[in-house]
């Protein structure tokens, strides 16, 4: 008699062997499809003897990424089995194939309830593990009493698992925290390290979910410190020793909990100072385990109100990490120093040389963190040395991915802390030379503005830039700044030598030759050619002997295929031919830029409190809370409508000066431009409202600029207006703002009553990973017609 072995009786190890021996993906899929079909047949035949084996094979197939949902009910049947082997595979299947959204949870809950009260600890442990993985809010409420009973059990194995299960339950149902709080006092005094570890995790989770729990658990600080002290002072214990450290997992969790309990509490922090100092000085640093403990110790010291000496010790630990050969440890040290530099910048300054050495590391992530940390360390006293190192980094080993941020931040910091104008201009020139095309457009604009603000430096700047331009015209930002300066101050270029270290003799012809080479060549970009054409036009009034030649060069581009170059050329030739007498006045040097004085903010809040308002708006204000955003950031009340002011008659006559100048018909009168509004200028964050009309609505594009050297993350901008006005706020272009970067957010305002527009804005964000103080401002400087 021949016995046929069904495919469903294949053992798990044999299936694994078959799958691994498959040579192609198609062959592997064929094996799995055939086995899944055999498993389905076995399930339909209610093959109880092979159910456990088939579910095990199905779980392996699920781990390979193939569908295995048809085995969910079979897992429930295994859970109901009295055999421990079946329950183990069944609960594993439940944890892998089910989640809290599955309807079969109603069936699982009864099985879990029975097994949580099982006489065998291993069965109860399986149920606790499964509950901790798939618990839903409903399941948590139903089974919380059983978990509470197991937390009071005399069995340490069950108490440990019950504590972890309680973590999942309070995450799903925060109201159940009150059920478990009374049990934590006994858990903290546990001798069993496993129970103590899970209890500390449970307490920390309670504090994170409900900050009111922090006050309750501050009473336990003494007990926690005693446990931590015993761990660092205890002798060798083979049961808890890991690479020479006594239970490092428990030490780290205790330190995390102490950081939560001691934050913003000087009295609680005072209790921790001595123990934290002992941990920092007695922990072995030769192994990675010790470094993990020290790292968490540093974070705890920085989070609490520790004394200054302890903070210096913490930063010195990070300084030692920077000397470690392990790249991961160096990265962690730099990242942590970047987060904590604002707390004690002087202590971090002592490790500046070590941070500078990290710029030479081959790992780009370490380079980036070291660069950002040096940005944060720049001040008036060290600006020469630190910026010098950053410029050297730019010219030698800076990766292309970092150059845009590096160049813009160097310019920003140099402008802010420059000891002299000459040093600043030398630094700018080096950045333009070594930064190449990575220098952003906003940096070019910033440099030209800084040049215009330094009249005493014009001769020095224009000659230095010309020398650099003569050496290399491939660096487009350099070309743009240099041609702009030559166009503005060309007469100083040919005036004779300047104090730049070597005599400079430049003729008018040589200057025009250089600009002609740029504008007619193929090396430079279109934008650089625009700058150069403008410079040539300006030089036509400064270089009298070259004016005719300049006119011919400009005339080359009247037939250019580039529309912008062609338009400029045509307009400039028109000035030469029809308005030559006005040319010197039109092409005068740009006036020195003077930053406008800060306007005093309007006392809008006082206006809103005291100004009379229309009765209908008051009634809307007194209604129930209809606008959650207004409630969140302080509601506004609309003012009475204000009549529009007529535009001055004189503006119509001078509506389009350029079109009149060129002798062309200006066409219909365009709508006057709406000036931008500065909404917020605080904490290095500048928010500008750019206004435009959209039919009968006001369109506002909020441009948020980060003027700091630290990236802004989690950026949220909110706005509210009086209830008589409607606002539609679209999503921001990004929630992250790089240093000197911007994000944009659009708003549409509908103001049918033409009431005076006032807006309340609220901004929250994190700087360097640390939450920044919330900004709230009232903006009332909108055009009167809106």
CATH classification of the domain holding 491: 1.25.10
Range name among 7-21, 60-74, 480-494 with the lowest pLDDT average: 7-21
For residue 661, what pLDDT band results from cuts at 50, 70 and 90? very low
Proportion of the chain above pLDDT 70, given as a percent: 86
Residues 623 and 581 in one domain: no
- Residue 620, pLDDT above cutoff 70: no
**Whose structure tokens read 């708006």?**
617
Residues 580 and 722 in one domain: no
Within a domain: residue 543? yes
Residue 716, SS3?
strand
Q: How far apart are CA 443 and CA 409, in angstroms?
A: 9
Within a domain: residue 454? yes
CB < 8 Å & 24+ apart, contacts of 559-566: 562/526, 562/529, 564/526, 564/530, 565/526, 565/529, 565/530, 565/533
Q: What's the mean pLDDT in 429-434?
A: 90
Tens digit of pLDDT for each residue in 443-461?
888 888 888 888 888 888 8
Tens digit of pLDDT for each residue in 342-377?
888 899 999 999 999 999 999 999 999 999 999 999
If we measure between CA atoms, which residue out of 747, 732, 761, 727 comes closest to residue 633?
761
Residues 581 and 617 in one domain: no
Instruction: Domain count for the chain, please give it.
Output: 2
Q: How many CA atoms lie within 13 A of 726 on its CB side?
A: 6
For residue 155, what pLDDT band results from cuts at 50, 70 and 90? very high
Q: How far apart are CA 724 and CA 754, in angstroms?
A: 10
pLDDT score recorded for residue 672: 56
Residues 564 and 617 in one domain: no
Higher pLDDT, 640 or 553: 553
Q: How far apart are CA 491 and CA 482, in angstroms?
A: 14
Tens digit of pLDDT for each residue in 264-306?
899 999 999 999 999 998 888 888 888 999 999 999 999 998 8
Q: What's the mean pLDDT in 563-570?
A: 93
- Backbone torsions φ then ψ of 747, nearest 5 degrees: -130, 145
Asked if 515 and 533 touch (Cβ cutoff 8 Å), the reply is no
Q: How far apart are CA 10 and CA 47, in angstroms?
A: 14
Distance from the Cα of residue 154 to its chain's centroid: 48
Residues 628 and 770 in one domain: yes
Residues spanned by the domain of 618: 613-644+670-779
pLDDT score recorded for residue 330: 93
For residue 627, what pLDDT band results from cuts at 50, 70 and 90? very low
Range name among 166-170, 403-407, 595-599 with the lowest pLDDT average: 595-599
Residues 695 and 764 in one domain: yes
Residues 634 and 528 in one domain: no
CATH code, domain with 631: 2.60.40.1230
Higher pLDDT, 569 or 457: 569
Tens digit of pLDDT for each residue in 230-251?
888 876 677 778 887 888 999 9
Tens digit of pLDDT for each residue in 402-415?
999 999 999 999 98
Residues 736 and 626 in one domain: yes
pLDDT score recorded for residue 26: 94
Tens digit of pLDDT for each residue in 326-340?
999 999 999 999 988
Within a domain: residue 552? yes
- Residue 398, pLDDT above cutoff 70: yes
Helix ranges, 494-562 (H) = 508-520, 526-542, 547-555
- Residue 468, pLDDT above cutoff 60: yes
- Residue 611, pLDDT above cutoff 50: no
Tens digit of pLDDT for each residue in 280-290?
988 888 888 88
pLDDT score recorded for residue 7: 46
């Amino acid at each position: 008699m021949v016995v046929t072995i069904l495919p469903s009786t294949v053992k798990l190890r044999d299936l694994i062997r078959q799958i691994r021996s498959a040579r192609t993906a198609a062959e592997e899929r064929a094996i799995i499809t055939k086995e899944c079909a055999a498993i389905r047949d076995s399930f339909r035949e209610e093959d109880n003897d092979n159910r456990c084996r088939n579910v095990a094979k199905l779980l392996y197939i699920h781990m390979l990424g193939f569908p295995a949902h048809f085995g969910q009910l079979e897992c429930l049947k295994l859970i109901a089995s009295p055999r421990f082997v079946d329950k183990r595979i069944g609960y594993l299947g439940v944890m892998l194939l089910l989640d809290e959204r599955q309807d079969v949870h109603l069936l699982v809950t009864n099985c879990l309830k029975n097994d949580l009260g099982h006489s065998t600890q291993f069965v109860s442990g399986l149920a606790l593990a499964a509950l901790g993985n798939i618990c839903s809010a409903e399941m948590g409420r139903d089974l919380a009493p059983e978990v509470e009973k197991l937390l009071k059990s005399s069995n340490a194995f069950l108490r440990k698992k019950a504590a972890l299960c309680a973590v999942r339950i309070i995450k799903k149902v925060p109201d159940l925290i009150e059920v478990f709080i009374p049990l934590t006092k006994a858990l903290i005094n546990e001798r069993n390290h496993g129970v103590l570890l899970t209890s500390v995790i449970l307490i920390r989770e309670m504090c994170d979910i409900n900050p009111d729990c922090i006050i309750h658990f501050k009473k336990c600080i003494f007990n926690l410190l005693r446990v931590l002290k015993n761990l660092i002072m205890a002798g060798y214990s083979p049961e808890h020793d890991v690479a020479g450290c006594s239970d490092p997992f428990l030490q780290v969790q205790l330190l995390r909990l102490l950081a939560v309990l001691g934050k913003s509490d000087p009295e609680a922090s005072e209790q921790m100072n001595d123990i934290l100092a002992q941990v920092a000085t007695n922990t072995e640093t030769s192994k990675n385990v010790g470094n993990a403990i020290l790292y968490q110790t540093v974070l705890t010291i920085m989070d609490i109100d520790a004394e200054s000496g302890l903070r210096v010790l913490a930063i010195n630990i990070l300084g030692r990490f920077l000397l470690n050969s392990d790249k991961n440890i160096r990265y962690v040290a730099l990242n942590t120093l970047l987060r904590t530099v604002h707390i004690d910048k002087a202590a971090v300054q002592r490790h500046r040389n070590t941070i500078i050495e990290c710029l030479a590391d081959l790992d780009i992530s370490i380079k980036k963190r070291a660069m950002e940390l040096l940005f944060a360390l720049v001040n008036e006293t060290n600006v020469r040395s630190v910026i010098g190192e950053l410029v050297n980094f730019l010219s030698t080993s800076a990766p292309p991915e970092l150059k845009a941020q590096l160049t813009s931040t160097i310019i920003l910091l140099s402008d802010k802390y420059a000891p002299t104008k000459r040093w600043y201009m030398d630094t700018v020139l080096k950045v333009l030379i070594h930064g190449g095309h990575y220098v952003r457009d906003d940096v070019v604009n910033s440099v030209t503005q800084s040049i215009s603000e330094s009249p005493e430096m014009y001769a020095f700047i224009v000659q230095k830039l010309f020398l650099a331009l003569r050496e290399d015209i491939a660096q487009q930002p350099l070309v743009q700044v240099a041609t702009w300066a030559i166009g503005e101050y060309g007469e100083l270029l040919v005036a004779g030598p300047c104090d730049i270290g070597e005599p400079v003799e430049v003729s008018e012809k040589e200057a025009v030759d250089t600009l002609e080479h740029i504008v007619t060549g193929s090396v430079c970009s279109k934008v650089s050619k625009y700058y150069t054409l403008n410079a040539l036009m300006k030089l036509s009034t400064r270089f009298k002997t070259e004016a005719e030649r300049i006119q011919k060069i400009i005339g080359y581009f009247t037939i250019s295929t580039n529309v912008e170059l062609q338009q400029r050329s045509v307009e400039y030739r028109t000035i030469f031919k029809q308005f030559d007498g006005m040319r010197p006045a039109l092409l005068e040097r740009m006036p020195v830029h003077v930053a406008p004085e800060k306007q005093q903010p309007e006392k809008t809040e006082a206006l809103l409190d005291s100004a009379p308002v229309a009765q209908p708006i008051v009634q809307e204000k007194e209604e129930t809370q209809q606008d959650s955003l207004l409630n969140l950031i302080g509601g506004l009340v609309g003012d009475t409508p204000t009549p529009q002011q007529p535009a001055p008659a004189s503006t119509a006559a001078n509506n389009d000066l350029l079109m009149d100048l060129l002798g062309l018909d200006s066409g219909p009168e365009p709508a006057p431009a709406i000036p931008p509004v500065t909404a917020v200028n605080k904490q290095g964050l500048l928010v500008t409202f750019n206004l435009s009309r959209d039919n009968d609505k006001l369109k506002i594009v909020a441009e948020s600029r980060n003027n700091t050297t630290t990236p802004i993350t989690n950026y949220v901008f909110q706005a509210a207006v009086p209830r008589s006005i409607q606002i539609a706020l679209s999503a921001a272009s990004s929630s992250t703002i790089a240093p000197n970067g911007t994000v944009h957010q659009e708003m549409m305002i509908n103001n049918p009553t033409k009431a005076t527009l006032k807006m309340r804005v609220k901004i929250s964000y994190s700087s360097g990973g640390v939450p920044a103080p919330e900004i709230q401002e009232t903006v009332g400087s909108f055009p009167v017609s809106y």
